[in-house]
Amino acid sequence: MRSAVLSAAIAVSIATPVSAAPTLNVYTYDSFVSEWGPGPGLKEAFEKQCGCTLNFIAVEDGVSILNRSRIEGASTEADVLLGLDLGLVTETAELGLVQAHKVDTSALKAELNWQDSQFVPFDYGHFAFIYDSRKIDSPATSLKQLIDSDASVIYQDPRTSTPGQGMMLWVNGVYADQSASAWAKLAQHTETVTKGWWEAYSLFLEGGADYVLSYTTSPAYHQVAEGVDHYKAAQFSEGHVAQVEVAAISAYTEQPELANQFLQFLISPEAQAIIPVTNWMLPVIDGIELPEAFDKLVTPDTIDFTPQAIAANRAAWIKTWRDSAAN
């Protein structure tokens, strides 16, 4: 009798799997999950409310997220793709890598005019040229002025970085058919074209050039983290190109509800309070208390590009850049 009960107990305990907390896998870019980035704060906050484990899987940058997902296809372990930008969403959608979300996007800022059913933005910013106000008294006030001047400039490669792509869109947006000659003129006073954002920015900080392509929020970083305010963004009259970073649910996830919960969390006030001061971009909902430094940032007009337009023209624009920007 006792042995029967014992064996039954053992059988039951073996047969019943120990219920573990579910894990949500999020593909994102590496600076997001560094200890200085938004990753750790978001992870702590989300895990409190979901009773799950949030697992960030870092790849090099936004493009790598797309590439890795497309290669893995159905065997991907990603539940959420976080860190793509508008330049990549068309391709991502066309490859069928993501699915529609159920997130309530009514709280998003009106100016974003967000309509997409698959992607949810979590931060945004404008590209801008940063300069050192101790060295430059009268910064350029338009892109044309910057290109026509002989100030040394550092920007990024449109083929390998999102700011670089932003630059490409900017030049094409402002110059349209004349972009080739614009590139050529710029090439004459370009210090270098770097692979990614940090190579350019760190070189600039060491005094490598007069202007570097970065974000309107970069001065806020210096103000808050370092207490210096001589790095400023130049505001151009033609308007700036925006970068909107988005997240989406993988088409192959096995936990769509949890994924939806995470996306909803991303645009909640709690997450939106963490992101600006760790990722140094602007929040996508109103009413977030930001450090004073953010008030001093330039607020430029936006040059609009639809994701479809970007995808359609990218190859041609890159070719023009490649052939004209030789220095």
CB of 19 to other proteins, least distance (A): 24
CB of 163 to other proteins, least distance (A): 13
CB of 267 to other proteins, least distance (A): 26
| Residue placing its CB nearer to other proteins in the complex, 78 or 108 | 78
57 contacts 226 by C-beta, under 8 angstroms:
no
Q: Is 47 exposed, middle or buried (0-12, 13-18, 19+ CB in 10 A)?
A: middle
166 contacts 243 by C-beta, under 8 angstroms:
yes
| Residue placing its CB nearer to other proteins in the complex, 51 or 207 | 207
| Residue placing its CB nearer to other proteins in the complex, 212 or 241 | 212
Contacting residues toward other proteins, per CB under 8 A: 30-31, 33-34, 36, 58-60, 63-64, 66-68, 70-73, 75, 152, 157, 159-160, 187, 190-196, 198-199, 201-203, 205-209, 315, 319, 321-323, 325-327
| Residue placing its CB nearer to other proteins in the complex, 154 or 267 | 154
Main-chain phi, psi angles of 98, to 5 degrees: -130, 165
Count of H-run helices and E-run strands, the chain = 14, 11
| Residue placing its CB nearer to other proteins in the complex, 261 or 320 | 320
User: Taking the mean position of all CA atoms in its chain, how far away is CA 231?
Assistant: 22
CB of 80 to other proteins, least distance (A): 17
CB of 138 to other proteins, least distance (A): 21
The number of residues in the chain equals 327
26 contacts 79 by C-beta, under 8 angstroms:
yes
H-state helical runs in the chain: 2-15, 30-33, 39-50, 62-72, 86-94, 143-148, 162-175, 179-187, 197-205, 218-221, 256-266, 269-274, 276-279, 307-324
Main-chain phi, psi angles of 154, to 5 degrees: -120, 130
| Residue placing its CB nearer to other proteins in the complex, 194 or 243 | 194
CB of 199 to other proteins, least distance (A): 7
